[in-house]
């Protein structure tokens, strides 16, 4: 048999074995949520570098500080997942993860915040006006404050928007007293759509296992 054919067959067998092994090592469902490989909900399945948590049937993603965000979707084909933004506490303009400083990912793990997120920073100090963010009255964060119940506690305060891109740190969205105290995010925003059709979430992407 030709050497090239032998090598091709060996590669094919190796690929099939790897796929079968990964499938067999996938974690069980979390509620009705499929948990695809490489995600791991316990020490006996998945890859522990891709640790998530199944909490009473709700799949959650942990931040570096130990705050847990509900996973809304996982797309193994694009290596992306979307998590729910933190709740803005009722009657305030404070994100529920304000005490943790916002969301921060562990930079030693294979996750980062994707470039598809439009972030709204809310209840901001005037010092943010020195940044290159869009803090104008035409900013879409105003629409969020005016039309979404969750944002109404932030009305009449300074807000800004930005598209998370490669020039920014891809491992955190920061909030703090004296800066901005709340935020939310929309994935692949379409400003022309009604706001209730916007895809509110924070898209993360991961590097597949070697």
Residues in the chain: 210
Residue 35 has pLDDT above 80, yes or no: yes
Average pLDDT over residues 58-85: 97
Rounded distance between C-alpha atoms, residue 122 and residue 141, angstroms: 8
Task: Give 137's DSSP letter.
Answer: T
Residue 10 has pLDDT above 70, yes or no: no
pTM for this structure?
0.87
How high is the mean pLDDT of the chain?
Answer: 89
What pLDDT sits at residue 24? 60
Residue 106 has pLDDT above 90, yes or no: yes
Cα angle vertex 138, ends 205, 95, to 5°?
50
Of 120, 188, 177, the closest CA to residue 148 belongs to 120
What pLDDT sits at residue 169? 73
Instruction: Provide the 3-class DSSP secondary structure of residue 105.
Output: coil
Report percent pLDDT > 90 for the chain: 82
Element (H, E) at 21: helix 3-24
- Token match 């940044």: residue? 131
**Number of neighbouring beta carbons within 10 Å of residue 116:** 20
């Amino acid at each position: 048999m030709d050497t090239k054919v032998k090598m091709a067959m060996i590669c094919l067998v190796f690929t099939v074995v790897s796929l079968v092994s990964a499938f067999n090592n996938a974690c069980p469902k979390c509620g009705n949520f499929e948990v695809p490989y490489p995600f791991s909900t316990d020490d006996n399945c998945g890859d522990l570098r891709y640790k998530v948590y199944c909490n009473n049937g709700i799949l959650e993603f942990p931040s570096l500080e130990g705050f847990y965000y509900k996973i809304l979707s996982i797309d193994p084909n694009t290596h992306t997942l979307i998590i729910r933004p933190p709740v803005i506490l009722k009657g305030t303009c404070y994100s529920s993860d304000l005490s943790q400083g916002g969301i921060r990912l562990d930079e030693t793990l294979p996750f980062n915040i994707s470039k598809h997120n439009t972030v709204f920073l809310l209840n901001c100090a005037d010092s943010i006006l020195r940044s290159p963010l869009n803090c104008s009255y035409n900013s879409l964060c105003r629409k969020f404050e005016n039309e979404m119940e969750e944002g109404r506690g932030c009305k009449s305060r300074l807000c800004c928007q930005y598209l998370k891109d490669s020039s920014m740190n891809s491992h955190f969205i920061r909030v703090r007293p004296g800066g901005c105290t709340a935020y939310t995010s929309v994935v692949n925003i379409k400003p022309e759509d009604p706001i209730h059709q916007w895809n509110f979430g924070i898209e993360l992407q991961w590097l597949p296992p070697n």
